[in-house]
Amino acid sequence: MGLTLSAAAQQPFQTLLVGVDHRADVTSLNGDWHYLVDYPPFRALYTGSGAINDRGYAMNSHPDITSGPHNDEYDFATAPTLKVPGDWNTQVPQLFNYEGVLFYERDFDTTPKSGTRTFLHIGAANYRSHIWVNRKRVCDHEGGFTPFDCELTGVLHAGSNFVVIGVDANRLQDGIPSVGYDWFNYGGLTRDVSLVTVPAAFIDDYDVHLAHGSSWQPGNTELSGYVHVLGAAAGTSVTVDIPEARARTSATTDAEGNARFSVKAARLSLWSPDSPKLYKVTLSSGTDRLTDEIGFRDIRVDGIRILLNGKAVFLKRVNLHAEAPIRGGRANNDQDAATMFGYLKDLNANFVRLCHYPHDERMTRTADREGIMVWSEIPNYWDISFKKPEVYAKSSAMLKEMIRRDRNKASVILWSLSNETGNKPERTKFLAGLAAEARQMDPTRLITSALNTDRREGGKGILEDPLTDLLDVVGMNEYMGWYGDKTEDADTIQWTLPQKPFIMSEFGAEARLGNHGPVTRRWTEEQQAYIYKHQLVMFAKIPQLRGTTPWVLLDFRSTTRNIPILQDGYNRKGLLSDDGRKKQAFFIMQKAYKENTVGKP
Ligand code: GCB
C-alpha cells in the first residue's frame, strides 16, 4: 500500500511477558468486541501523510444523533461484534477476502492497585496493530504471528476503561512475509487477549534448561539459566524451586536485572517423546511468583546424527499450518490443538514442523505434554527485502519474540530461520545475522532452514548453498513428480548433500479427496500416493537423512490456489482433507512411520 510506518511501529522489540498462561493475575479479554471496518483509503488509521491517526476511531467518540453540530460518523457502541480470538475472514462473509484495516473496541472494568503494573497481552494480531487505551496510544506492533505486551500502568482508572485496536492486514513489500506467500491472509486479533497485572518489579522473562554438557546421571544433573526481574535493583534475590526434582536455589540480579543460576537436580527424568515429563518450576522474586511446567532434555548434533539426550533420533514428522481443521480459519483454541495432535499421533509422527510462522502457544504447550518434537519458524518466506536494515530489524524482533515465548518448551528442538529463499549474498548475510542472534539467545537448540536451491546434473541432485554452512540441521524442500522431475526419477537420483543431519522438509503432491484415477492422472489420490511411494524409495538411499516432513498434514486455504472443483481456494497437498478425512497417501506415511522404515537414526 506504500503507507509509511510510524516511528513506534518500527521499534525492533518491545516487552514480552513469558509464561502469560501460567501467571496469577490474568483477566481474559476474549469474547465479543465491537468492530468497524476502515475501508480504503484507511483514513481512520492513517492521516493523509501516512502517519498513525491518533484522533480517528481511536477516540471512541459517540455521535450525538439528536442535536448539536455535526460530529464523528462512527459509533462502536452500536457496531456489530466479532469474537476474539478469531480472524475476521471466517466470521463475516463480506470480510472473507478483506485484506485491509479493521478497528476493534471493547470496554472493560478494572481497579488499578497501587504498587502494581498492568499489561495488555496480545497473543497475535495479523499483521500490524496499533493500540489505544482510554484514547492514549499504548503501543504498535508489526508481525502477525508473535505475541506482545503493551504497558497500561498509569493509563487505567478505576471503573470502566476501553481499548481500541486498529489491525492492518495489508500485505507489505517490506513485511515478513512479504507480499507473496502460499497461505491465507487471515486478519485480526487471531489469538487470546488478556490483562496481566504484576508487582512493580516482576519476572518478565526466564530460561530454565538442562545445562549443556550436564552428565545426566541420576542425582547429578545440572540445570541452569536465568530469571530476569524487570524494574529490580541489582542484587535483588530470586528463587528457583523445582520440588519434584529436588532442586532449589537462589541467585541475585545483576545490573541488567538477570539472576543467573545453576543448580543440581537430585531427582530428574529427562523429557523425551516416550516420556514427556514436565516439572512444576516455581520462580519467585519479592512479591512476584509464578509456576511454569517445564521439561528438561538435551538436543545436539553429532556428525550427521541428531542426538536427543545422547540417543540418535529419526524425526518422523509432518508439516502443519495454523489453520483449524473442520471449521477452518486460524487455529486458536484447545479443541483445535487437540484435534491436530490427534492426527499427528494417528500418523505415528514424533515431530511436527509448525509452518511457516510461530503457532499459538497452545501448540507448543501441547507438544510438551504429548511428547511431539517441534520445528518452529519465522516467516522469512520466499522473497524478503533482504537488503534493507529495517526489514532485518523486523525479522530480528520476530526471532526474539519466538525464542522468548517458547524457549522453556522442551518440545521445541529446532529454530528455523527461513523457507525457500533464493541464494543471493544479501539473503545469506541477513540469515547469518539471525543465526548468530538465535545462538546467542539460545545456545541450547539447533538452527535450521528449509532450502530449495538444489539443482540437477544428469541423474544427480546437488544442494550447494552457503546457507547450509550456517545451519546445524539442513532442511530441503523438493516436489519430484509434481513441480519438476519425473516421479520415478526419485528411485535413481543420487544426492550430493552437505555432511550434516538432513531433513526432507517438504515433498508431496496435490490430490482432491475422493478424486480417483490412474497414477498418471494429476490431482488423484492414486497419483499422490504413487509419488509418496517413490519418495520412500529415495529416502532409503540418503545417508544424512534424519527426518522427513510430508507437505502437508491438512489441505489448507491459500489465495493462490484457484482451480475450480479441484482446489476451490485450497492447497490440496494434505494427507488429510481440510475436514480431516484421510487420503491414500496418509496410510503410506502412517505405515512407514509405524514400522520405522523411512530412515534410520
Ligand atoms: C513450498 C512452500 C509451501 C507451499 C508448497 C506448495 O515449497 O514451502 O509453503 O505451500 O511449496 O504447495 O507449493
pLDDT in tens, 531-583: 999 999 999 999 999 999 999 999 999 999 999 999 999 999 999 999 999 99
- How far does CA 267 lie from the centroid of its chain? 33
User: Model confidence over 179-214: pLDDT tens digits?
Assistant: 999 999 999 999 999 999 999 999 999 999 999 877
Residues in the chain: 601
| Secondary element (H or E) of residue 59 | none
| Nearest one of 524, 449, 450 to 487, comparing CA atoms | 524
CA distances from 293 to 208, 408, 472, 528 (A): 10, 9, 28, 41
Ligand 1 pocket check: which of 551, 555, 575 to mutate, most ligand atoms within 8 Å of Cβ?
A: 551
Share of the chain above pLDDT 90, in %: 94
Q: Which residues pair with 374 in a beta bridge?
A: 352, 412
User: What are the beta bridge partners of residue 381?
Assistant: 419
Ligand 1: which of 452, 482, 506 to mutate, most ligand atoms within 8 Å of CB? 506
pTM: 0.96
Nearest CA to ligand 1 atom 3: 182
Residue of 182, 384, 418, 560 with the most ligand 1 atoms within 8 Å of its CB, for mutation = 182
Residues lining ligand 1, CB < 6 A? 182, 356, 419-420, 477, 506, 551, 571, 573
pLDDT of residue 475: 98
**Displacement of CA 160 from its chain's centroid (Å):** 34
Confidence of residue 64 (pLDDT cuts 50, 70, 90): confident
What's the pLDDT tens digit per position in 144-170?
999 999 999 999 999 999 999 999 999
Question: 35: CA distance to ligand 1 center in Å?
Answer: 34
Q: Write out pLDDT tens, residues 478-491.
A: 999 999 899 999 99
pLDDT at 477 over 50: yes
Q: How far is the CA of 485 from the CAs of 459, 510, 545, in angstroms? A: 10, 15, 20
Is a pLDDT exceeding 70 seen at residue 600? yes
**pLDDT reading at 386 higher than 70:** yes
- Cα torsion through 310, 312, 318, 322, rounded to 10: 10
**Per-residue model confidence (pLDDT) at position 219:** 74
Confidence of residue 14 (pLDDT cuts 50, 70, 90): low
CA of 86 to the centre of ligand 1 (A): 25
Q: How confident is the model at residue 424 (pLDDT cuts 50, 70, 90)?
A: very high
CA of 446 to the centre of ligand 1 (A): 23
What's the first-to-final CA gap in the chain, in angstroms?
A: 48
Contacts of residue 389, defined as CB under 8 A and 6 or more positions apart, other chains included, come to none
Question: What is Dmax (Cα atoms) for the chain?
Answer: 82
> pLDDT of 449-459, one tens digit each?
999 999 999 99
ipTM over cut 0.85: yes
Q: Which residue has the cell 512475509?
A: 177
Pocket test of ligand 1: the residue of 504, 510, 571 to mutate, having most ligand atoms within 8 Å of its CB, is: 571
Rounded to the nearest whole angstrom, what is the distance from the C-alpha of residue 545 to the centroid of ligand 1?
20
What's the mean pLDDT when you consider all of the chain? 95
Distance in angstroms (rounded) separating the CA atoms of residues 337 and 209: 25
What are the chain's domains?
8-199 (2.60.120.260), 202-297 (2.60.40.10), 301-506+544-554 (3.20.20.80)
Ligand 1 closest atom vs CA 573: 12
